[in-house]
């Protein structure tokens, strides 16, 4: 029996839940939200949809104890209204509200007896992933965030458009913060196996900025993002369940920096199976170090666990 949990049932969490139910990915799904009316409504809607699906998913509502035997727990809580993509704060608009959420839910997750893999979508993603690990005390490999998984997809899309090919033919990674200090490691990027440097006339700085501002392009029209980030969360959860050994960029703990930061890693049944350390250029290494330093500085100033993990 495959069992997942989702905490936070706003636009992103609801889309994660719908995707899991619609695809028949799980047999049981634990849904948790402090807004009981919203949680109940999401369950009722999903139950109604299930009547027309070939699969059946048992939905358990607002019961932390039901997480004890869950394989994966996706954290999608947040306050989207606090995000201001037009200012320098960006995703850090949720910093204050989400750190409080972490302190509220972390002890409840621990008390539930949950022993699975925790995947964070909360913003600012790297900071909150690090904070969740610190506050739960779970092994670092068992806690990771979506990080630059989505930013990399955006980079692939924009590069693909620029060279007139499907973005799926573009490989490479966006590193660093899921936020303003992220960067495209162009030394890792290729199109149909050809290094990006072989394609003349590309404005790499513009393409990098397009990837960085991709969320704003969506939010400008509907004031939130949900489909793409939920898809990323589900794909990572499925990689855990399948022990897929999926190589992809996520927010993972790097002991070299002492914090979580976006970089390629291998995802399997144990969560982060290993980090992928590529031979970056000196400038890329400096950008990664600076981004990680910023992330760590924002976690270190938060109230820390009373018992050192």
Asked if 178 is an active-site residue, the reply is yes
* Long-range contacts of residues 299-303, Cβ cutoff 8 Å, at least 24 apart: 299/127, 299/130, 299/131, 299/134, 299/259, 302/99, 302/131, 303/99, 303/103
In whole angstroms, give the CA distance from residue 139 to residue 271: 10
Angle between helices 204-212 and 214-222 (to 10 degrees): 40
Q: Please confirm whether the linkage preceding 124 is cis (ω < 30° from 0).
A: yes
Binding-site residue positions for NAD(+): 8-13, 33, 98, 121-123
Q: Degrees (nearest 5) of the Cα angle 45, 47, 48?
A: 65
Sign (positive or negative) of CA dihedral 242, 7, 84, 260 = negative
Distance of CA 184 to the CA centre of its chain: 17
Instruction: Give bridge partners of residue 5 from the DSSP assignment.
Output: 30, 73
Alpha helices in 24-85 (DSSP H): 36-50
Q: Tell me which of 3, 91, 178, 296 is the catalytic residue.
A: 178
Closest C-alpha among 153, 157, 10, 165 to residue 81: 10
Q: What is the dihedral of CA 22, 23, 29, 33, to 10 degrees?
A: -50
CA within 13 Å, CB half, 97: 14
Strands 28-32 and 58-61: parallel
Instruction: Report the catalytic residues.
Output: 178
């Amino acid at each position: 029996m495959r069992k997942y949990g989702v905490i936070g049932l706003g636009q992103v969490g609801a889309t994660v839940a719908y995707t899991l139910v619609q695809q028949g990915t799980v047999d049981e799904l634990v849904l948790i939200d402090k807004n009981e009316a919203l949680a109940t409504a999401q369950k009722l809607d999903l139950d109604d949809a299930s009547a027309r699906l070939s699969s059946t998913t048992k939905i358990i509502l607002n019961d932390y104890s039901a997480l004890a035997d869950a394989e994966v727990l996706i954290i999608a809580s947040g306050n989207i209204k606090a995000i201001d993509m037009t200012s320098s704060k960006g995703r850090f608009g949720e910093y204050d509200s989400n750190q409080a959420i972490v302190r509220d839910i972390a002890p409840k997750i621990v008390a539930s007896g949950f022993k699975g893999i925790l995947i964070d979508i909360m913003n600012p993603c790297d900071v909150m992933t690090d904070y969740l690990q610190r506050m739960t005390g779970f092994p670092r490999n068992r806690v990771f965030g979506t990080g630059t998984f989505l930013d990399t997809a955006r980079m692939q899309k924009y590069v693909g458009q620029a060279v007139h090919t499907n973005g799926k033919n573009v490989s490479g990674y966006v590193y660093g913060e899921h936020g303003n200090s992220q960067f495209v490691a162009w030394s890792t990027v290729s199109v149909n196996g050809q290094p990006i440097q072989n394609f003349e006339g590309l404005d790499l700085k513009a393409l990098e900025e397009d990837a960085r501002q991709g969320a704003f392009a969506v939010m400008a029209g509907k004031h939130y993002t949900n489909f793409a980030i939920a898809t990323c969360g589900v794909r990572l959860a499925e990689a855990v369940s399948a022990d897929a050994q999926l190589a992809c960029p996520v927010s993972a703990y790097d002991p070299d920096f002492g914090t979580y930061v976006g970089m390629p890693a291998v995802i399997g049944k144990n969560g982060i199976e290993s980090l992928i350390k590529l031979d970056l250029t000196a400038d890329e290494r400096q950008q990664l170090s600076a981004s990680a330093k910023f992330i760590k500085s924002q976690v270190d100033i938060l109230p820390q666990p009373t018992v050192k993990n």
